[in-house]
Amino acid sequence: MPATDDGDPADHFAIDTITDASERGYDTILSLKFPYNNASFPEPGSAEMDAELDRLDQVLPTVMGKVDIITIGNEPFIESLPAERDHRLNEFYETVARHVIDHRAEQCGQNCATTLYMGALNRLDLENRRTPATERWMRFVRETPEIEGVDIHPHVPDGDNVQAFLDYILPRMRADQTFLVTEFSLVWYWKQHLQDTISPEFAQKYGFHTDTQVWEVIGAAIEEPFSERQWHDFLTSSAWFMEQATFLHDQMAMYRETGRLAVATYGFKQDNLMVRNWSPNKDPWLLNSVFAPYTVASRGSGMAAPGFWLESFRSLQNG
């Protein structure tokens, strides 16, 4: 949302990309991101809140009725000051949600092609994330007829932890509501293994010292991208990684078995932020990606090389 201060939202690369995809027949989801992790939430009725709603009024006409789903919020319980993850967070997002609902009713009509979700909740596997503010969030979702459901982002240290997300949200929604999973991964599991020693077989085959750590090999791939074979060998020679080889299928089965999943999406490609200032303490989002342009040499003609997950990702499209 802050990008609206820099010019016409229709010209912003994210909105231009998503509206172009929509026009070409793709189903699309747009999350409205309100980063308040370095500033207090504006109070409803204040000049600051009016300015935020003015930003919405710049964005919504460009996307309403064009994208299939608008998610109101991105990660509110992360993109906020820790001390304000209480009623102040709820009041801000409820005000925003009602403004979006009113705009849709006035400008897009009863049969508007865009549905609305509230998003997204993180780390519901941790008891300290299930707070009174989280309860109020879910109550607003349940009691607001225009809201279709809630978005979740299960980034977890263990795939089994995701059940706690479903156990929390499903009983707190109306029977006709569904949920989104617009992000999910094992990033915190990967991070636990960055300082593991690599396999002797990989070290010998590719000339690394036997005491080389996982993060150092990834750093070498960032510095000079590996061949597809070498990157594949690195991952498949790592027992900790291969223990999770069925992660995508396991997760999608869990979501689909609820009968309440609307859409799940998965991280498609590595980006610059994932590799910048690489260290053993960096969150290894790059290990999630379907395509690996920053750790694997290009196939040529601008084609990024796939990472480990392409086969699973592709098969799930046909599931």
Per-domain boundaries in the chain: 2-184, 187-247+268-319
Cα(219)–Cα(49) distance, integer angstroms? 44
CB 200 within 8 A of CB 173: no
The share of the chain scoring above pLDDT 90, in percent, equals: 96
Residue 300's pLDDT band, with cuts at 50, 70 and 90, is confident
Q: What is the pLDDT of residues 29-42, one digit of tens each?
A: 999 999 999 999 99
Q: What is the pLDDT of residues 119-157, one digit of tens each?
A: 999 999 999 999 999 999 999 999 999 999 999 999 999
Both tokens of residue 310? 């392409």
CA angle 230, 271, 231 (to 5 degrees): 5
* CATH fold for domain 2-184: TIM Barrel (3.20.20)
Give residue 304's pLDDT: 87
Both tokens of residue 216? 């150092």
> Any idea what DSSP says for residue 227?
P
The share of the chain scoring above pLDDT 70, in percent, equals: 100
At 89 the three-state DSSP class reads helix
Cα(101)–Cα(147) distance, integer angstroms? 8
Both tokens of residue 99? 């403004």
Element (H, E) at 178: strand 178-181
At 57 the three-state DSSP class reads helix
| pLDDT of 9 higher than 90 | yes
The widest CA-to-CA distance across the chain, in whole angstroms, is 66
Give residue 209's pLDDT: 97
Q: Supply the DSSP string of 100-116, one letter for each residue.
A: HHHHHHHHT-TT-S-EE
Both tokens of residue 10? 């229709």
CA torsion, ordered 65, 71, 73, 76, to nearest 10 deg: 170
Mean local confidence (pLDDT), 196-213:
98
Mean pLDDT over the full length of the chain: 96
- In what order do the strands lie in the sheet containing 178-181? 29-32, 69-72, 115-122, 147-153, 178-181, 261-264
181, 199, 92: which is closest to 137 by C-alpha?
92
Mean local confidence (pLDDT), 13-28:
95
Give residue 301's pLDDT: 76
Q: What is the pTM of this model?
A: 0.95
Residue 319's pLDDT band, with cuts at 50, 70 and 90, is low
Give residue 90's pLDDT: 98
**DSSP-derived pairing of the beta strands 261-264 and 178-181:** parallel
Cα(87)–Cα(99) distance, integer angstroms? 18
At 226 the three-state DSSP class reads strand
CB 158 within 8 A of CB 189: yes
| pLDDT of 184 higher than 80 | yes
> Any idea what DSSP says for residue 130?
S
CA torsion, ordered 256, 175, 186, 128, to nearest 10 deg: -160
